[in-house]
Amino acid sequence: MVVIGLLVGADFGLAAFAEHTVSQKAREQLKLAEDPSVTIHGFPFTTQAISGDYRHISLSASGVPINQLKDVAVNADLTDVTAPLSDLINGNTDAIKIGELEAQVTIKASDIAKISPLTNIEDLRIEPSSIEYVQTGQDSTGSDGQQQSDDKQDKSEAGIRVSGNVQIAGQKIEIFCFAMIELHGTSIDIVPKRLQYGNDKETTVVPTSVQKALLPNFKTSIDTGNLPFEVTPTAVKVNSGSVTVKGKAQNVTFSGATTGR
């Protein structure tokens, strides 16, 4: 039993060392202030290390800078990973090859608010909305649509409610913009459809002339062209206070974790 305990302890120790090595390299390549969380799944680790083949590695990081975004959260699952043990021991992660990778990138409303022309909106907030409510102002579910997402399936578009304060005729007025958020290649586009005054329970439609003047303040594109691991965005989801983009990549290297500033 003592021998088994020592072997198990050695296995966990080697796994921890490998995780720390990968985490340090990820911190460097993702330009982070702190080491991200890295977990090499599966037991025993030693068997995987000797063969150089790992079934599943997960990585979680916050505060990732991507282009004009400065505080992005990244969660990635790496499967069918090839990493020679000698390279891991020597801290050489360039040789790590990833068969398949699935990632989620979450962008906070506070980051989105810094992208022009949304900088014209004070105290910008984000909530999900049904596509039906965005397009028609009504929802067949009987809800006002302001807190409803359409379903759990991954889609390349979603409804979004962007709200905040704007200046109209010298007065600060709270405006709700119902828009579509759409994936076009590596771009996330917010396409405003209509505006409402008031609060969550109001449905007062903004006059057409005012809508024409204000709608451009809610239209923008978010560039995600430098996602870690060369991930291609495939789906977008609106959360309360943030937007999550999902993506996949195949046959990439760990060195592809580098992002653009």
Q: Which of 3-17, 150-164, 194-208, 218-232 has the lowest mean pLDDT?
A: 3-17
pLDDT at 15 > cutoff 80: no
Order across the sheet with 171-184: list the strands. 122-129, 157-168, 171-184, 187-197, 220-223
Helix (H, G, I), strand (E, B) or coil at 54: strand
pLDDT at 261 > cutoff 60: no
Q: Which of 46-60, 175-189, 195-209, 232-246 has the lowest mean pLDDT?
A: 195-209
Of 184, 230, 173, 181, nearest to 206 by C-alpha is: 173
Confidence at residue 11, expressed as pLDDT on a 0 to 100 scale: 59
Query: b/e string for 84-107 if b means 16 or more Cβ within 10 A?
Result: beeebeeeebebbbbeebebbbbb
Q: Measure the CA–CA gap between 88 and 51, rounded to whole angstroms.
A: 13
pTM reported for the whole predicted model = 0.82
